[in-house]
A and B are shown apart, each in its own frame.
Chain A
Amino acid sequence: MWGDLGIVVAGLLTLAIFSLLYKDNPVYKFAEHLLVGVSAGYYVVHYFYSSVIRKFYVPVFQQGDIWLLPGGVLGILMLGRLWKRFQWISRYAIAFYVAAWSGYLIPSVLQERILVQIAGTFPPAVGEASLWTILGAILILVGVASILVYFYFSAEHRGAVGRISRIGIVFLMVGFGASFGYTVMGRVSLLIGRFQFLFEDLPKSLGRVGP
């Protein structure tokens, strides 16, 4: 019963949000503010419980895991941002966090995002893959090289450099086009999801909630 009622409310709020497509109005504003308020409330409670209570209070004060205490203290130092006089205290926590994460992240990101990706631009040897795969790999190599030339600003884009950078622009445009196409598909998918909800889930719930 409550679940069905929730679906009916969600249906009404969906229609309220859609009303913006005609023009801005108070019904839309109400739904928008409700969404922002409910989300903020949900996340504050969830983050506080999962971070402060589950990851700090319970292990340190109930299970005696005092090794987590320094991390908790660094977290508390971050709250110094809230008072102008004590803002400098938070820098210690930020410095520790940035340094620790740089140490963790830089070698791994360098390996997986740069080195492996560079290796991925080299075509496989003839005989190792099909002709189609090799041609595709050559196309990727040409695309990557010409785009890099386009972003090389220490030489004037004239003559050979200009021609290669123009090829780079073509590859960039194809990339942007693909991104745009996928973005449109994503947005339409969200609309489909809402319509499936309005035309499939909502009528079922209305049947159960109604007289």
Chain B
Amino acid sequence: MAGRRNDEGLRGTGRFQDILVNLDRRIIFLAIAAAVAFPILLPLNLPIQVSNEARAYFEEIERLSSGEVILLSLDYEPDTMAELDPMTLATLRHAFRKDLRVVAMTTYAGGVGIVERILGEASREYGKAYGTDYVFLGYNPDWSATMLRMGESIKRTYPTDHYGRRTDEIPLLSEVDSYEQIALVATIAASALAEYWVIWAGGKYNEKIITGNTAIQAVLIYPYYQTGQLSGFLGGLKGAAEYERLIERDGAGVRGMDAQSMAHLLIVCFIIAGNAGFLIQRRSQRRARVGGGDA
């Protein structure tokens, strides 16, 4: 309502503060688009500081020995691919580089294609074989029950893998059937799924858990890291970029950080300009009122 009053009362006055307050939203869209597009086309290579959370995520994988098994749950769909794909790819590259074996799954129906694509890309890069070095269990309905039941038996939770092959015939799963044989659970999640991994796999089965999350979820995840329920976490594209730096393999995360920084800088400028315009406008309105009263 206040915005509308401003529009009605001040449109067309042409004063600097009024232009700032009533800026056409399309100009803002264009400016943001330019701020994001230019660094993608012409990288600026701005520095990236690594946070403690990202370092802890990296160190949890780094401390594992060759041949150990990690459970990688990719709990997201195409709408958050931009933020989470770089984390997934970096995690798989890190794991395969260390010759860890990966049991992959998804608790989202729309995540199946994403897992197949990234798992295929990373396994081809490192020459890993399906069934012995990695396996994709696929999607299972009811994520809570899936997480819980995997503590008893992965093979009973997933009688077949994503491709319909019986899990008791897959070589990797002949050695692994519950969290006891899994050294680490890593979840890259778009929602509160990391919390449920903490409750089921962490709380009930004492499993170590690391997570990569969208930026929006990161605020909710911090308390679990602070209490030690999560051993490490990556927050948004920034977390992905930090992790890529740690594994010394730059990817879409690092490439996106220049654009991220430029966009943030511009948004801060818009916020300052908008507030400055509002304050100047309010002061001049007050002066006009006082002047009118005097008259």
Contact = CB atoms under 8 A, between A and B. Distances in A.
A43 B110 contact: yes
Contact of A199 (B37, B138, B198, B214): B37
Interface stretch (B173-181, B242-250, B260-268, B275-283): B260-268
B89 interface: no
Contacts of A184: 264, 267
Contact of A192 (B138, B148, B235, B237): B237
Interface residues on B, range: 35 or more
B198 A112 contact: yes
B215 A185 contact: yes
Interface in B215-270: 215-216, 218-219, 223, 226-229, 235-238, 252, 255-256, 259-260, 263-264, 267
A120 B226 contact: yes
Interface string A23-56: 0000000000000000100110011001100110
Interface string A107-140: 0110111001101100000000000000000001
B40 A196 contact: yes
A38 B140 CA distance: 21
Interface string B152-166: 000000011000000
B215 to A, nearest CB: 4
Interface stretch (A88-96, A148-156, A162-170, A174-182): A174-182
Given A108-B199, A109-B199, A120-B227, A175 B219 contact: yes
Contacts, number: 129
B23 interface: no
Contacts of B199: 108-109, 112-113
Contacts of B114: none
Interface in A73-88: none
**Main DSSP-derived SS at the B contact region:** helix
B116 to A, nearest CB: 13
Contact of B139 (A22, A50, A113, A178): A50
Nearest to A39: B110
Nearest to B216: A186
Contacts of A22: 26
B139 A188 contact: no
A186 B138 CA distance: 27
Contacts of B198: 112
**Main DSSP-derived SS at the A contact region:** helix
Interface string B123-153: 0000000000000001111001000100000
A49 B277 CA distance: 57
A46 B139 contact: yes
Given A47-B109, A51-B141, A182-B236, A193 B82 contact: yes
A54 to B, nearest CB: 8
B264 A188 contact: yes
Contacts of A193: 81-83, 85, 252, 256
A133 to B, nearest CB: 10
Contacts of B37: 195, 199
Interface in B85-144: 85, 109-110, 112, 138-141, 144
B67 interface: no
Contact of B214 (A50, A108, A178, A186): A186
Contacts of A1: none
Given A43-B110, A112-B203, A196-B82, A189 B236 contact: yes
Contacts of A112: 195, 198-199, 202-203, 229
Contacts of B255: 196
Interface of B: 26, 29, 32-33, 36-37, 40-41, 79-83, 85, 109-110, 112, 138-141, 144, 148, 159-160, 195, 198-200, 202-204, 214-216, 218-219, 223, 226-229, 235-238, 252, 255-256, 259-260, 263-264, 267
Per CB-CB distance, the 3 closest pairs between chain A and chain B, nearest first, are A193-B82, A120-B227, A186-B215
28 contacts: A21-B29, A43-B109, A55-B141, A101-B144, A104-B148, A108-B204, A111-B203, A117-B227, A120-B223, A140-B226, A179-B216, A182-B219, A182-B236, A185-B237, A185-B260, A185-B264, A188-B259, A188-B264, A190-B82, A191-B36, A192-B263, A193-B85, A195-B36, A195-B40, A196-B82, A196-B252, A196-B256, A199-B37
Given A184-B264, A188-B264, A193-B256, 10 more contacts: A50-B109, A50-B140, A112-B202, A184-B267, A188-B259, A195-B36, A195-B37, A195-B40, A196-B82, A199-B40
